[in-house]
Amino acid sequence: MFRATHVSAESQPASSAQAKPGLLPTLGLFSTIMLVVGGVIGSGIFRKTGGMAAELGSPELLLLVWVIAGVITLFGALTNAEIASLIPETGGQYIYFQRMYGPFFAFLYGWAIFAIIQCGSIAAVAYLFAEYAGRLVHLPELSAATAAWSFHLPFIGDVTPLAEIGTKGLAAALIILLTAVNYIGVRFGGLVQNIFTVAKLAAMALLVIGAFLPSTSGSAVNFTTPSATVHLSGLALFAAITAALQGAFWAYDGWNKLTYIAGEVKQPQRNIPLALLWGMLTVTAIYVLMNVAYLYVLPVDELAKSKKFFVFDVAEKIFSGGGNWIAALVMVSTFGTTNAIIMATARVYFSMARMNVFPRFIGNVHPRFHTPGASLVVQGVWSVALLFSGTFDTLTDTLIFVTWIFYAAGAYGVFVMRRKLPDAPRAYKVPGYPVVPWVFILFALTFLGFTVYNDFVTYREAIAAGKPALINSVFGVALVMVGTPIYFFYWRRRNTT
């Protein structure tokens, strides 16, 4: 049977530890902060502002949404840090959910992480790396007829695995490369993370500084000049803010990856809360500065018109050839983010396997490198499969909705654990308790409700226009619930024999 408690690999008796090598705590405070910053800052800040400007039509609201998303995300990180310091074990929120709500809910989370949330993120971010690389070098493609070959999946749509084969091939190579890097050792993977995060931050700083150079034709008037065409009020305004927040939350997502690797952090009770606090404050400051720079260079209507390529227009206004430079910047950013996801997420499946709810071989530690090698390989294979499935847009549209269901559950878990373990020593307690956790939970529930509303409105509009459509939030929940029969009819039966 499943047990509600967990014995980590690091705390096993000596005889057991000899049979199964444990993971080593090698990451210091700087590396943990870099993991938070590098895991969060990826492609969102370079792709979302244009669409958000089109939805809001107001520069003040645009900046406000980025600030609100940062504050709410920080509230979630501060809340989650209490649980992370109380249970500093590799496996992150999977372990927390098992202690809070039992093995079934924890399994659903672990299944969601594998099936859509993180493996889909690896595939999507690696794809964006290759997409931007294609602006600098020519990537080979198949003939139009071959690339157009597709097959249909019921309720999902047409899959074209051979389309953009050059982009997908480069993305697959990136996933394989970074999987191998982290297979060799977490210290090496952490070093790669540090290098690319520092390089990414330096490049972003240059973009912000360049935006305010005298030679740049920017204007402070852009900060107060609203759209000439978009004027919202009432429910439409709330719906637009929710849609914009969904884009911002995608950019802020990834702050919890540090908890997946808690068992490999030195002094986790101290370093995990500090890394989450300073990491998210750093990310929020960077995002607000980046959007201030965008708005200074381009009015809100021009940002909206540029859509996902607005950052190229900004860079070109700063200096000639800026588009190529920004493509290289995004490649650096997405390279580091892909590495951060690969490094951290494999530890979830590793912990689940050691609890006999995933195949046991996934819980093996490499005897030489002391890394979750089998978990990394399985994660890499599934991520590449998702990459060639051609379902990136659908996956990324569902990621935030599904993730925020578990974020809300994780925040409520602070109250659960304080009831279950009232006398347990807590090196860190969430500041502003119980206000900060409740603000995060209520905001998350409101956000999820408006997301469902927006999805149904978009679905009805698409059907009325005769276009194929999918209710992304419902699709996301359905993918998660696929784990239910797996749990009850396979894994549970296996663990009772």
- Distance between CA 48 and CA 309 in Å, rounded? 10
Secondary structure string (H, E, C) spanning 267-303: CHHHHHHHHHHHHHHHHHHHHHHHHHHHHHHCCHHHH
pTM: 0.77
Q: Label residue 53 by pLDDT band (50, 70, 90).
A: very high
pLDDT for the residue numbered 177: 94
pLDDT for the residue numbered 6: 37
300 contacts 109 by C-beta, under 8 angstroms: no
Q: Which two tokens stand for residue 174?
A: 């990136």
Check pLDDT > 80 for residue 191: no
Q: Label residue 339 by pLDDT band (50, 70, 90).
A: confident
- Distance between CA 346 and CA 335 in Å, rounded? 17
- Distance between CA 71 and CA 290 in Å, rounded? 16
Q: Label residue 193 by pLDDT band (50, 70, 90).
A: low
Task: Convert the pLDDT of each residue in 450-494 to its tens digit.
Answer: 888 888 888 788 778 776 567 878 888 888 999 898 888 766 666
In 3D, which of 395, 415, 330, 312 has the Cα closest to residue 44? 330
Which is higher by pLDDT, 216 or 12?
Answer: 216
Task: Convert the pLDDT of each residue in 401-451 to its tens digit.
Answer: 999 999 999 999 999 999 999 988 887 888 889 999 999 999 999 989 988
Check pLDDT > 50 for residue 11: no
- Distance between CA 270 and CA 249 in Å, rounded? 26
pLDDT for the residue numbered 14: 38
Of 119-128, 331-340, 448-457, the poorest mean pLDDT is in 331-340
Check pLDDT > 90 for residue 287: yes
In 3D, which of 15, 182, 11 has the Cα closest to residue 88? 11
pLDDT for the residue numbered 2: 28
39 residue type, one letter? G
- Distance between CA 215 and CA 273 in Å, rounded? 42
Domain boundaries, the chain: 23-496
- Distance between CA 449 and CA 440 in Å, rounded? 14
Check pLDDT > 70 for residue 190: no
pLDDT for the residue numbered 259: 66
Q: Label residue 283 by pLDDT band (50, 70, 90).
A: very high
pLDDT for the residue numbered 316: 84
Write the CATH number of the domain with boundaries 23-496.
Answer: 1.20.1740.10
What residues pair up with 153 in beta bridges, in sequence order? Answer: 157
Q: Label residue 58 by pLDDT band (50, 70, 90).
A: very high
Of 55-69, 299-313, 392-406, the poorest mean pLDDT is in 392-406
Which is higher by pLDDT, 162 or 280?
Answer: 280
